[in-house]
Amino acid sequence: IHWPGHSESGLSTGVPVTSMDFYPTLLEMAGLEPNPEQQVDGASLVPLFEGKPVQRDAFYWHFPHYQGEGSYPASATRVGEFKLVHKYHHKDLLLFNLADDPDETTNLAASMPEKAKALDGKLMNYLKETRAYLPKAPTPEQKRKRRSGRK
């Protein structure tokens, strides 16, 4: 990131960030407040320019729908080096240690059930607090239609 008057030729950091952080960052850089009725996802990255940590306890993602390319409804959270994916369609949890497995090839949920349960609880609490839509299992009729390609 380059911020004239606040960084040399750009800031590089190993701190995880997400595109949702751009909006609160730009607001803070411009000295603006969000509209009171506006939900601001993400965290401002301005502290990174001051050598301070970004204040965030977790990342959250929520995709409660089927997508055209074959994706299934899922939610995820990242806390520290661990990422948990909650798959609604298959009713399973995937747990990855991103420090050891950045390509997410080894599901640790069975070998670390307490960690998976704790992160899933944190994720479900967040979704409840934000009143997120939670997908429901498809009915047998919906499954038949999906298999046949009908809507």
pTM of the entire structure?
0.78
Which of 100, 142, 95 minimizes the C-alpha distance to 114? 95
List, for residues 38-93, the tens digit of each pLDDT value: 878 889 999 988 888 898 899 999 988 877 677 789 999 999 999 999 998 888 99
Give the up-direction half-sphere exposure of residue 118: CA atoms within 13 A in the CB hemisphere.
Answer: 9
Question: What is the overall mean pLDDT for the chain?
Answer: 87
Structure confidence at residue 44 (pLDDT): 92
Q: How far is CA 128 from CA 28, 54, 79, 93, 133, in A?
A: 28, 24, 18, 18, 9
Structure confidence at residue 80 (pLDDT): 93
Structure confidence at residue 65 (pLDDT): 85
Structure confidence at residue 144 (pLDDT): 75
